[in-house]
Amino acid sequence: MVAGLIGGTSLLNSRYMKGKSRDMENKHGRVLVMKGEGWVYVPRHGWNGSIPPHRINHKANIVALESEGVSHLVGVYSVGSLREEIKPGQLVVPDDYISFWDIPTYFNRDVIHITPVMDKDMGRLMVEKAGELGLEVVSGGTYFQTTGPRLETRAEIRFLRDYAEVVGMTMASEATLACELGLRYAALCTVDNYAHGLVDEELDYVDVMGKASTGRDSLHELLDLVVEGLKCF
């Protein structure tokens, strides 16, 4: 079994960026792929994190992982919290998502309607391993995907709070495409900030990225345990 990982800036300095790298090309585009023993990693924002969320080639990325033999895919995401009780620094393993806009698909010619699901066993594994490391993790919840690249307005956040626990820009697209290809998929979210307007502090993207850099060592350690645990699936 080959474990797949797809992540963003939180993994730029991880061991997963130090695997054997190569540029792959499929009919959807070019993809940077990193490989190690028993795992394959795709950095969704590219080598130096320069691809913004609305320009990510999700279809090329997920096909590249599948072509490398990936059967189980873990997506790692930076999110904003829509709940005061879900604090920056915590982890969330969502069990559902909402995405109304720009839904990607591989089925432009065939009439195929998938039912999107998150893999419960993989989610339980991540929660279990986070607990072993003493990390604060929220099991379950809904991820709301916005399109980016701008952050959400205060009014948008007031609306989203009625329907989800965290907000981000990439997870739903990757989850949907993984399901279309028959991959087992689960997500691990790092809460880097409260969403715009949830607290009095003004939201600044540079500040958010600075705070996101804390706790990365424990995140990387958790992913190592998850990859090892997936070998038993």
> Residue 211's pLDDT is what?
61
Q: Could you give the angle at which helices 58-67 and 171-180 cross, rounded to 10 degrees?
A: 50
Specify the amino acid at residue 145.
Answer: Q
- Check whether 12 has a pLDDT greater than 80: yes
Sign of CA dihedral 7, 10, 14, 17: positive
How does pLDDT run across 144-159, given as a tens digit for each residue? 999 999 999 999 999 9
What CATH number did the domain enclosing 143 receive? 3.40.50.1580
CA 157 to centroid of chain Cα atoms: 20
Give me the number of domains the chain comprises.
1
Q: 3-state DSSP call for residue 22?
A: strand
Q: Cβ-count burial of 211 within 10 angstroms (0-12 exposed, 13-18 middle, 19+ buried)?
A: middle
Residue range(s) defining the domain that contains residue 43: 2-230
Length of the chain: 233
- Check whether 69 has a pLDDT greater than 90: yes
230, two tokens: 């997936």
Specify the amino acid at residue 95.
Answer: D
- CA 96, CA 175: separation in Å to the nearest integer? 10
Of the listed ranges 64-68, 70-74, 84-88, 213-217, the least confidently predicted one is: 213-217
How does pLDDT run across 166-209, given as a tens digit for each residue? 999 999 999 999 999 999 999 999 999 999 999 987 776 666 66
**What number is the average pLDDT over the span 96-111?**
94
